[in-house]
A and B are shown apart, each in its own frame.
Chain A
């Protein structure tokens, strides 16, 4: 966990940010940077926030398929109803489920011991996985992402009941993905959802899949760090590992990420700027998918955990989630919308085609896209620094007449009203195919500019 405040030097001069709307790079596909939900409860934890999540248009939403869904209550008897509620919630938002398999049915794992990682009947396990995937395929859900366990390089499995070694993970992976692909040949399978990325489990999985021709459609890992550069380096390092096995072409997926855990005090403006900067670094480094962790902070269904999770670790989870400051959710424990959500709202406005952006600063960055259907371009600018910054935004090759509408993400405003959090400035009109706009960005400030062609 890096607690260092990045880039401490003040910005004395004006930072030029140049956007060229004629330089059309690639489809923006900002929806690749999706969200996930922690594995705390069998309830659909963010039901009443479905419209808000749909509004930010995540391509994927990750869900923990935990033992509390009770998928195999008795040998040969399956129970999908409870899980269906959480899966259906994802589908209502228009996202593809990324289902992380962390179940340990009691009939297949009678002893609560995270080091016991193989079921007492592989045939029953295969049948369970096959029928699970088949159940959703029969409901029209083909081509989903299926991830094999979570953070199992850790003793607590990141709140899940498996603790693997590099030696025993590949066998479990192989059996499980075979069952998935038998049920849905279009499914995307992968793992190992590492805590961090340097654990030997990832290397072992990649080498095993390459040598044994076992499908590996994506590799996944997690990071909680205040330093967006950590994410960049992790992507570069994983790509370097994959480059040694050119036969594999897995997608790269960071499907849990946020700022450092366990911090007591943070500037309320930090998180939104951190999300913008980290998304930018992920994008620049060519990450395929991400799932921000997470949608809503939620109270742990502690009694449910005790049925399958070691008591010692259940207590640690309870302690962390109930008694420590938790800053992770787009919605907090009481379902209050956080400023971070509004950053995702702004990101989702980057529709259409990505266009070239240049800045002259290591801390003031921007992303921009042009949407021909909307006849509108969007520029998201942020200042990932504890000092304010003056910015001179210059947009070239615009329509002959445009109206620029600027929205400041105001994380310090005393209420959560939509138009308070995304505070509009007075619109300004421009002619002549160019826009020049001076902007003041507060520490960790975020601003969105919508450039709308006059119709």
Chain B
């Protein structure tokens, strides 16, 4: 979360790729090529850590509809898991965890709490509990509680953005050195309760190399489990994400004994004035992440929500609490798939379109640096889906050609209309007239507006 604050002064408003597209961009899809399972569900979502309430309870059906594989949740101190020594309290956290389960996703739980009995003083630089045995027992019993309810094999992440002074809205500020014993003790307790759990971290704000190098080196040399490494970024340039994945892979390549999953579990744009930008940004960033071989992502986030200031003041430095309050309550916030009033944003519809990419990924070729596409073929549905977007401030003409199609196909195209005056499903996903094709080839001319997104459904007749 703090990555957002850090980007305040560095908001990138530059529009990438400003050149207009004069000639039609060829987008070629080969429905006969079967690359791999699409697994678009790897690109999931998360929820900011603002309140102990289940913040998107009224949107569970909508989140389930986009089928995220994982949903990340901050296990913050406001859940009050250890109200006093030896007494645990899971009920409030259970509501938020159950919400994730109702959405059909696997929880990715970011451990970010600091119980008062173990951390009596509010000081983010105090990062070790006054009683390690009590901490171990708390972590063990927390994980055990969910395992007893059937929740094994979940993702457990050790703290959040501990490389920043405000801990990204959480109460830990680590150095590369003192993170390591905390990580080691915590994951040991997690895995004692659930040997199938996936443990990792450090959920870095941006990608400061010393932190990730220290963790990787430590885990490799000390044989400490590291099932995933995670980091965050808020930037308008999708290329940054591809570069960051390559950088982390390079670090990991030095330690071949480790095979952690790569996880970007907070990401979004830094900000943009064009309402069409965000959906195209999500499409392009997902594309870059997929191409670079990222294992999992959690878009930040499901719903913008008011910070529970009173709850934060009990465990979070006052100065940073008010920074959070100022940011979330007084600045324009563009992150949620649903806004503060639970209104659905165009970004949500991009995830709806991504969710249509079911079945097997098929080959796509484009000859443009800004018009890209993802396509898949679903044999059960007898339908292929092509998602095409134009990550540019200039419009683009596209000539879509899908080869090796069934002898008779019906094509339906839907424009993601981020500028439509209302949020109706059929306004946002505006249907174009359908067209019939025979002979195993579909040729469809498309006009993509600046940052335009179109989904084409090719249905066997």
Contacts and interface: CB of A to CB of B under 8 A. Distances in A.
Given A333-B425, A336-B424, A414-B421, A323 B383 contact: yes
B293 interface: no
Interface string A256-267: 000000001100
B425 A297 contact: yes
Interface string B402-430: 00000000001000000001111110010
B62 A415 contact: no
A454 interface: no
Interface in A271-329: 297-299, 311, 315, 318-319, 322-327
A416 interface: yes
A338 interface: yes
Interface string B422-461: 1111100101111000000000000000000000010100
Q: Give the dominant DSSP class at A's interface.
A: loop
Contacts of B334: none
B62 A333 contact: yes
Contacts of A319: 381, 383, 459
Interface in A323-365: 323-327, 332-336, 338
Nearest to B66: A299
Interface residues of A, number: 29
A81 interface: no
B89 interface: no
B64 interface: yes
Contacts of A334: 62, 344, 348, 423, 425
A268 B380 CA distance: 34
Contacts of B434: 264
A318 B459 CA distance: 13
A416 B422 contact: yes
A88 interface: no
B69 interface: no
Contacts of A415: 421-422
A43 interface: yes
B431 A264 contact: yes
A325 B429 contact: yes
A212 to B, nearest CB: 44
Interface residues of B, number: 26
Contact of A323 (B64, B356, B423, B433): B356
Nearest to A48: B58
B10 interface: no
Contacts of B421: 414-415
Given A264-B432, A311-B380, A333-B65, A414 B422 contact: yes
Contacts of B145: none
Given A299-B65, A319-B383, A325 B457 contact: no
B318 interface: no
Q: Which of A45, A319, A323, A414 counts the most B-chain CB atoms under 10 A from its CB? A: A323
Contacts of B431: 264-265, 325
A318 B64 contact: no
A41 B348 CA distance: 21
B13 interface: no
Nearest to B426: A325
Nearest to B455: A323
B95 to A, nearest CB: 16
B223 interface: no
B61 A299 contact: yes
A264 B380 CA distance: 24
A336 B356 CA distance: 21
Contacts of B412: 264, 323-324
Nearest to B62: A334
B142 to A, nearest CB: 28
Contacts of A315: 380-382
A12 to B, nearest CB: 31
A333 B428 CA distance: 12
Contacts of A325: 425-426, 429, 431
A388 to B, nearest CB: 21
Contacts, number: 64
B61 A336 contact: no
A354 B117 CA distance: 70
Nearest to B104: A303
A318 to B, nearest CB: 7
Interface in B5-43: none
Interface string B114-144: 0000000000000000000000000000000
Contacts of A41: 61
A298 B348 CA distance: 16
B424 A332 contact: yes
Contacts of A299: 61, 64-65
Interface string A393-422: 000000000000000000000111000000
Contacts of B348: 334
B423 A336 contact: yes
Contacts of A322: 65, 356
Contacts of B422: 336, 414-416
Q: Which of B61, B412, B459 counts the most A-chain CB atoms under 10 A from its CB? A: B61
Q: Which of A268, A333, A416 counts the most B-chain CB atoms under 10 A from its CB? A: A333
B212 to A, nearest CB: 38
Contacts of A336: 344, 422-425
Interface string B245-267: 00000000000000000000000
A265 to B, nearest CB: 7
A296 to B, nearest CB: 9
A26 to B, nearest CB: 37
Interface in B355-380: 356, 380
B433 A264 contact: yes
Contacts of B459: 319
A437 B424 CA distance: 34
A416 B421 CA distance: 10
Contacts of B432: 264
Contacts of A43: 61
B382 to A, nearest CB: 7
B61 to A, nearest CB: 6
B381 A327 contact: no
Contacts of B423: 334, 336
A323 B381 CA distance: 11
Interface in B53-97: 58, 61-62, 64-65
Nearest to A311: B380
A60 to B, nearest CB: 24
Contacts of B383: 319, 323
Contacts of B356: 322-323
A315 B434 CA distance: 20
Contacts of B65: 299, 322, 333
A415 B420 CA distance: 11
Contacts of B433: 264-265
Given A265-B431, A265-B433, A332 B425 contact: yes
Interface string A46-57: 001000000000
A324 B356 CA distance: 11
A264 B433 CA distance: 7
Contacts of B457: 323
A332 B64 CA distance: 15
A89 to B, nearest CB: 14
A335 B457 CA distance: 24
Contacts of B429: 325
Q: Which of B64, B421, B425 counts the most A-chain CB atoms under 10 A from its CB? A: B425
A414 B457 CA distance: 29
Of all A-B residue pairs in the complex, the 5 with the closest CB atoms, nearest first, are A414-B421, A264-B431, A332-B425, A299-B65, A334-B344
24 contacts: A41-B61, A45-B61, A264-B432, A298-B61, A299-B61, A299-B64, A311-B380, A315-B380, A315-B382, A319-B383, A322-B356, A323-B383, A323-B412, A326-B425, A327-B426, A332-B426, A334-B62, A334-B423, A335-B58, A336-B344, A336-B422, A338-B424, A414-B422, A415-B422
Given A45-B61, A268-B424, 17 more contacts: A41-B61, A264-B433, A264-B434, A315-B381, A315-B382, A319-B383, A319-B459, A324-B412, A325-B429, A327-B426, A333-B425, A334-B62, A336-B344, A336-B422, A336-B423, A414-B421, A415-B422
